[in-house]
Amino acid sequence: MWDYTKKVFDHFKNPRNVGEIENPDAIGEIGNLVCGDALKLTLKIEKETEKILDAKFKTFGCVSAIASSSALTEIIKGKTLKEAVKTTNNEIAEYLGGLPDEKMHCSVMGMEALLAAEKNYRGIKPISSASGFAEKTVCKCFNVSESKILKAIESNNLKTVEEITNYTKAGGGCGKCKGEIEKIVANYWEKKERKKFSSMTVVEKIKHIENVLSEKVNPKLKKDGGWVELVDLNGNIIKVRFMGVCSGCPSSGQTLKNVVEKELREKVDKALTVVT
């Protein structure tokens, strides 16, 4: 049996704000029967202040899905729409005293329904139907897009495929997309790391550059019998020395730009220049 909190059980057994508002000002719909859970959120919004006067939900799903929906409506009632959409899935989970890891996707569903309702209120149609350009679906079993995965990574600091499955369901069906998810999460953190280059200390910068040289650059050069060493770092200018057969090789100038500099710009910082 899942380790649900008392509060989760309370919101499951006595869900607040069940139903549908007649003539709602905003509707947010998320999920479907294939996924095994779905939430329809309807809102009454005061025009002048954009204050959420009332919120009601209908949910198809498990204990934590129903409890998360109920919690969501309680959290957002009385807030302005602008304030309300800042609600994160973590706040929903915290409101319930926490959710089991495997059930975090239920809180994500609540947050998504709210964002869908805001879009609906502001007259923004979902991307897929507005432009005929559907967003890239990563997980076909549960219809999870790349942007949903990235958002979950960002707001919940996710590091592994398993965590992403817990929060978004992606990868939890046939599992074929797990490789792709792994790439998405690796790319995300790699980019994040890269942004930090300018704020690194000198030692961190040197270590990072040496790491890229030994893991990305030198394996390529060693195929031809050479390698490269870091000599100095001055601002954004990196000085290196060619070793082995590369030293004195007539095409080493090309290698310097097309291999060494290219890799370092990609993996470390765009602004870098490499010289010998």
Partner 1 sequence: MKKEKIIYLDNNATTKVDLKVVREMTPFFTELYGNPSSMHFFGGKVQAHLDTARLRIANLLGAKPEEIIFTSCGTESDSTAIFSAIRVNPEKKHIITTVVEHPGILNVCKYLESFKGYKVTYLKVDAEGRISLDELKGAITEHTAIISIMWANNETGVIFPVEEAAKIAASRNVLFHSDAVQAAGKLPINLENSKIDLLSVSGHKIHAPKGIGALYIRKGTIFAPFLIGGHQEKGRRAGTENVPYIAGLGKAAELAAKNLKKENSYVKKLRDKFEQGVLKTIKNVRINGQGADRLPNTSNISFEYVEGESILIFLSEKGICASSGSACASGSLDPSHVLLSMRVPLTFAHGSIRFSFSVYNTEDEVDFVLKELPAIIKKLRIISPFAEGKPLFGEVKTES
**Enzyme catalytic residues:** 35, 106
CA atoms within 13 A on the CB side of 32: 5
Q: Is 62 in the site for partner 1 (CB under 8 A)?
A: yes
Q: Using the rule CB under 8 A, give the single segment among 64-72, 78-86, 128-136, 191-199 that binds partner 1.
A: 64-72
**From candidates 10, 29, 94, 146, binder to partner 1 by CB under 8 A:** 29
Q: Using the rule CB under 8 A, give the single segment among 5-13, 198-206, 212-220, 245-253 that binds partner 1.
A: 5-13
Give Cα 72 distance to the centre of its chain.
21
* Measured distance CA(239)–CA(241) in Å, rounded: 7
Q: What tokens does 5 get? A: 């909190």
**213-217: Cβ within 8 A, 24+ apart:** 213/240, 213/260, 213/264, 216/263, 216/267, 217/259, 217/260, 217/263, 217/264
**From candidates 95, 121, 142, 227, binder to partner 1 by CB under 8 A:** 142
**From candidates 7, 44, 58, 194, binder to partner 1 by CB under 8 A:** 58
Q: Is 164 in the site for partner 1 (CB under 8 A)?
A: no
| CB-based contact 39:65 (threshold 8 Å) | yes
Report strand pairing: 37-45 vs 52-60.
antiparallel
Contact string (CB under 8 A) for partner 1, positions 222-261, x = contact: ----------------------------------------
Q: Is 78 in the site for partner 1 (CB under 8 A)?
A: no
* Measured distance CA(273)–CA(261) in Å, rounded: 7
**From candidates 11, 24, 40, 252, binder to partner 1 by CB under 8 A:** 40
Size of the site for partner 1 (CB under 8 A): 32
Report strand pairing: 137-139 vs 144-145.
antiparallel
Contact string (CB under 8 A) for partner 1, positions 85-104, x = contact: -----------------xx-
Q: Is 39 in the site for partner 1 (CB under 8 A)?
A: yes
Among residues 161, 162, 164, which one has the least CA distance to residue 179? 161
Burial of 218 (0-12, 13-18, 19+ CB in 10 A): buried
Q: Is 110 in the site for partner 1 (CB under 8 A)?
A: no
Residue ranges that bind partner 1, judged by CB under 8 A:
9, 12-13, 15, 18, 29, 31-34, 36-40, 58-66, 102-103, 141-142, 165, 169, 172-173
